Structure 1
Amino acid sequence: MGVKLFACGDVFNSTGNPAWLCSDLLRLIRDADYALCNFEAPVIAEGMRGISKIGPHLWQPESSLDCLVSAGFTHVGLANNHVYDFGDSALNLTVSKLEERGIVCLGAGSTFEQAYQYKIIEQNDVSIGLLAACENQFGCYYEDGLNRSGYAWLFHPCLEDNIRELASKVDYVVLFAHAGIEDIPIPIKEWRDRYKRLCDIGVDIVIGHHPHVPQGYECISKKKIIFYSLGNFYFDTASAGDGLGEGFSVFFNFLKNTFEYTIVYHKKAGLIMSMVGSEDVSFNLNLLNSMLCNGYNELNCKLSLELYDAYYRDYYSMAIFGGRGVFSSLLNAIKAFLVKSEPRRCKGLMLLHNIRIDSHRFIVQRALSLRFET
């Protein structure tokens, strides 16, 4: 019998579209005993204002929660870089509204303890521990004692303690992880190493998201597997024709001593996410998997240098000196934000943004080490 678990990536339903999923996907989700997604942005109420940060402020209407319920989702990960976009009040409201609907929240809350709390599901003599955590972005509980709401950090010792504790209690430990560089086909080495380390101390399955595009997966042992990025599940800002409108999910069947999984491909058609075959998406999962083996280190270094030259060098220049004069479209958007706001404060936020966020710091450190230590 076992336990059936459906796991997918980022959900951002900014209109509360009730017809967001095709009938085949709905049937599959409802066939699972439990279904888990990353709820990418909070629910807000009138008068709530965005926090001081760099980047967009995302939010979803309360009706988007009803869409989750009707689809059959039982658990949501809230450890992500947008869940704190409107501060304590919005995050606490989101947790409250989800719990009112019977949906279990993972990875975030009004206290440090709540954010790092794990959940256990048990059925048919199989037990599974669930945790969720994110890289260090605005709203992260990177240390205890912060007098605000927040979400769990992937590098906090408390996460490791909970993993070890869970591993002694359950048959499987599943970590829902929100981290990585967006829009690249491989995980950077630092995240690959971190996930493997967490597997060493007790995690059996890592389910990654945040890069918005699919990345490969690899088996660490017979019982351990890392899915580096599932890509988006439903992101209604992405058009049907671009890579942000497609991804994959995983349908697990956990037995007492082993588990099976099936890859589920999906692609957006208009505002509806449809289940499709592997031949209907633009990515090749076998190719992405092979990129984790053949020439991985060289590609990782190449991407680090390219990203530094294309983005990060200018980001730091803007934060410290006020800019270089030639920027990407993203940097232009940030520049427009600076013009409307107090420049010194926003430069500080820009610098904090690039130093705090683990992925950004990793890329810059690797690129500068490659360029100046060799």
Structure 2
Amino acid sequence: MSKPIVNLCRIVAAAVLMLCVLSLTAHAQAAADPLPSWNEGPAKNAIIKLVTATTTAGSADFVAPGDRFATFDQDGTLWVEQPVYTQVVFSLDRVVALAPDHPGWKTVEPFKSVIAGDRAAMAKFTTRDLEKIVFATHTGMTTGDYTALVKDWIAKARDPRWHRPFTDLVYQPMLELMRYLRANGYNTYIVTGGGQDFVRAYADHTYGIPPEQIIGSALDTDFTYNDAGKAILMRPPKLLLNNNFSGKPEDIYLFIGRHPQAAFGNSTGDREMLEYTQAGGKGALMMLVLHDDPAREYAYGPAEGLPASKVGTFTQALYDEAMSKGWNVISMKKDWKRIFSFEK
């Protein structure tokens, strides 16, 4: 082989080797980033700072592995809540499914409007109207039967905008965040104003969070026996826990018995949870998701001039409190490279 050809082969081999090294380096850098769907900035830095401070032995903010807790609101914080909460959609679908067994509903509100598909009337439903619907569609059955209903519905139902299962509309950056925290010894809890048993039906598969780490609004349960003498729990039309606003820190104490080191929310219903977390000290991290990306998701507030919304209300007063107390506001538009796992 001539000398020029030998030299050319050496140059090509060196170039190939360099490309391989660069490729491996890029992969290693990507693997080293625990939050790849987050843009570099204050929000991402605050998360990494918390984990570093609370997991580094000798740090003033060090927390023992068994004592590390983080709480997450669900609707609007972990997955899409617009144009209406997923559990409300489930409840309305249940009214329609049960209507043949309740002919009187056709003339009684709020059931009449649901059966007729009157969206204008449904948009005006009061809290009392929704309570009537929940009691009619979520009770009078065993806890096991209810869980089976939710699992069946969540597997089949589709969001009207993306035409995907609701469990596909989970925010990829928050999934990464929860995995990052758990990898560093944190217990991750969902603390939601939604139904505790509703979320328990899919949370393990969707978020990697087991049923015992779900804190939510809950109906009472009655211990009794079925016709075969088997012990069962029935769901009566009686509210046990209203896990919203001040109910969130109250129930966090009831279930966990301590302050979290981190809390994540997106609306006025999460305010007290973040205040309670900050009161615990230890370099606590408080974060609120601001929905300001109408192209990839939705935009609503009314904080910072965004459109007002009854679903997931984020007021200017809450935004101002966050700024004054050193909380972090996550901008969907600026802080998240991608919102959903199915984004290209």
Normalising by structure 1, we get a TM-score of 0.27
Normalising by structure 2, we get a TM-score of 0.29
More helix by share: 2
